[in-house]
């Protein structure tokens, strides 16, 4: 056997090997997965924008006008007027001076962290930060320190001990933590950053389009406009399309256009995607219908799970984990739920710590109450049958 076959066998032996599920249609509340209709509790399509007629129309019109590809990186000839418009739309929506769109949220973290830090700097990162932040930090020449999840005393003790040894110190946190659904203690982080003269960097992938006024994000939720240096967002989750952005000062945009490597070495977002995203922000500005429905559904679903005796950890957002523990049990639960008509992905090591396996339910504005009721019933009966509850 090849070395990879051996490693794959290890996955199989520990019960965590899986095949990719195949969705045969658009991302909706009910999807046709592996040939069977199931309730979808696994997407990041929070507002239902991924298959929204207005976004699709905008994309089709832009494809007719601009074609399907941008043709080059932004710094050469791939920077179309529609990309410039999109940057401006995002800056306005976020109430920031400027914004710069990247190809994905992952590309933002991979490109921005290394661009804004040097070997004379220190990066301080929450231990539960997203994988793309971890990779982004690895690409930086700066020194690193990691603090216990949302532990402000731990963060302060690093700042106290190390601040003087470095030129810049950058504190990085998720806005909403993707595996637990809890919100970063941003007011405290901003206060510590001021006290120790550090910079702040918030990756709001799960907060943008979800938290704050009209989905303006975690910074807006806490009323911290102008006090976070780098705000990263994704256009692939609540916004429903693809892409990522950095919002902040005009200077940060100018610098990233020279040193943000994904902007220099990877082709710009497809123009159809840019047009669909612009339409999505227009819809968020027009009405809170979608964000209201999302939160209404999330509260309904979470209350119901708790009343059935499930442990949903410390979620404060539509991300709703059901804590299981053991890896193989978690995967078996997820597999059985799929058989019975609910798709909820099992999340296990290395995505979360060993022994912290969970299924992660993602509620959206698309779900009807009847679908949520049906999903909770199936989850409850399956949990009983597998002695999980
Ligand atoms: C999903 C996610 C990303 C990646 O965003 P994409 O646009 O899908 O690449 C980055 N950071 C966090 C915190 C995320 O949850």
Over the stretch 294-325, which tens digit does the pLDDT of each residue have?
A: 999 999 999 999 999 999 999 999 999 999 99
Give tens-digit pLDDT for 56-78.
999 999 999 999 999 999 999 99
Vertex 242 angle, CA 89 and 274, to 5°: 40
Burial class (CB in 10 A: 0-12, 13-18, 19+), 259: middle
Mean pLDDT for all residues in the chain: 97
Whether 224 and 191 have beta carbons less than 8 Å apart is answered as: no
Helix (H) or strand (E) segment spanning residue 114: helix 105-116
Which of ligand 1's atoms lies nearest the C-alpha of 244? 7
237 is catalytic: yes
The contacts of residue 281 (CB under 8 Å, 6+ apart) are: 89, 90, 93, 239
Q: What is the 106 CA–ligand 1 centroid distance (Å)?
A: 5
Query: Percent of the chain beyond pLDDT 90?
Result: 96
Q: Which atom of ligand 1 is nearest to the CA of 176?
A: 13
pLDDT at residue 130, rounded to an integer: 96
234 is written with which tokens? Answer: 């994704």
| Confidence band for 387, pLDDT divided at 50, 70 and 90 | very high
Ligand 1 probe mutation, 128, 133, 178, 201, most atoms within 8 A of CB = 178
Would residue 148 show up in a list of annotated catalytic residues for this protein? no
Query: Residues 352-375: pLDDT tens digits?
Result: 889 999 999 999 999 999 999 999
Ligand 1 midpoint to CA 311 (Å): 25
- pLDDT tens digit string along 139-172? 999 999 999 999 999 999 999 999 999 999 999 9
Question: How far is ligand 1, taken at its centre, from the CA of residue 26, in Å?
Answer: 20
DSSP one-letter string for 162-204: HGGG-S-EEEEEESB-TTT-PBP-HHHHHHHHHHTT-EEEEE-
Strand-pair partners of 126: 147
Q: 1 pLDDT band (50/70/90 cuts)?
A: confident
At 14, the pLDDT band (50, 70, 90 cuts) reads confident
Residue tagged active-site, from 52, 83, 206, 367: 206
pLDDT at 16: 75
- Name the maximum alpha-carbon separation found in the chain: 59
Alpha carbon distance 232, 100 (integer Å): 10
Tell me, in angstroms, the distance from the centre of ligand 1 to residue 309's CA. 31
pLDDT of the residue at 342: 98
Give the predicted TM-score (pTM) of the model: 0.96
Tell me, using a 6 A CB cutoff, whether residue 106 lines ligand 1.
yes
């Amino acid at each position: 056997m090849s070395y990879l076959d051996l490693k794959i066998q290890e996955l199989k032996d520990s019960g965590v090997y899986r095949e990719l599920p195949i969705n045969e249609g658009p991302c909706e509340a009910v999807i046709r997965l592996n040939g069977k209709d199931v309730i979808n509790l696994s997407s990041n399509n929070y507002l239902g924008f991924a298959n929204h007629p207005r976004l699709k129309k905008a994309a089709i019109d832009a494809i007719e006008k601009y074609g399907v590809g941008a043709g080059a990186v932004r710094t050469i000839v791939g920077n179309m007027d529609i990309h410039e418009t999109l940057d401006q739309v995002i800056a306005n929506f976020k109430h920031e001076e400027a914004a710069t769109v990247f190809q994905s949220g992952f590309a933002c973290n991979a490109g921005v962290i290394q661009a804004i830090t040097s070997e004379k700097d220190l990066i301080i990162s929450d231990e539960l930060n997203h994988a793309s932040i971890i990779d982004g930090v690895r690409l930086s020449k700066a020194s690193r320190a990691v603090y216990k999840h949302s532990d402000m005393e731990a963060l302060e003790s690093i700042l106290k001990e190390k601040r003087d040894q470095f030129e810049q110190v950058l504190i990085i946190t998720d806005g909403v933590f993707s595996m637990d659904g809890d919100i970063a203690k941003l007011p405290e982080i901003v206060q510590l950053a001021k006290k120790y003269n550090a910079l702040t960097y918030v990756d709001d992938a799960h907060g943008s389009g979800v938290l704050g006024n009209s989905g303006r994000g975690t910074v807006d939720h806490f009323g911290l406009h102008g006090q976070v240096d780098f705000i990263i967002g994704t256009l692939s989750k609540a916004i429903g399309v693809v892409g990522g952005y950095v919002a902040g000062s005009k200077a940060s945009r100018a610098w990233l256009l020279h040193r943000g490597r994904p902007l220099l070495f990877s082709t710009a977002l497809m123009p159809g995607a840019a047009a669909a995203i612009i339409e999505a922000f227009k819809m968020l500005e027009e009405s809170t219908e979608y964000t209201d429905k999302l939160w209404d559904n999330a509260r309904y679903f979470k209350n119901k799970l708790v009343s059935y005796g499930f442990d949903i950890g410390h979620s404060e957002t539509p991300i709703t984990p059901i804590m299981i523990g053991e890896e193989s049990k978690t995967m078996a639960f997820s597999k059985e739920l799929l058989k019975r008509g609910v798709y909820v992905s099992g999340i296990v090591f290395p995505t979360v710590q060993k022994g912290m396996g969970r299924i992660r339910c993602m509620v959206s504005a698309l779900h009807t109450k009847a679908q949520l009721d049906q999903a909770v019933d199936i989850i409850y009966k399956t949990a009983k049958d597998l002695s999980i509850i």
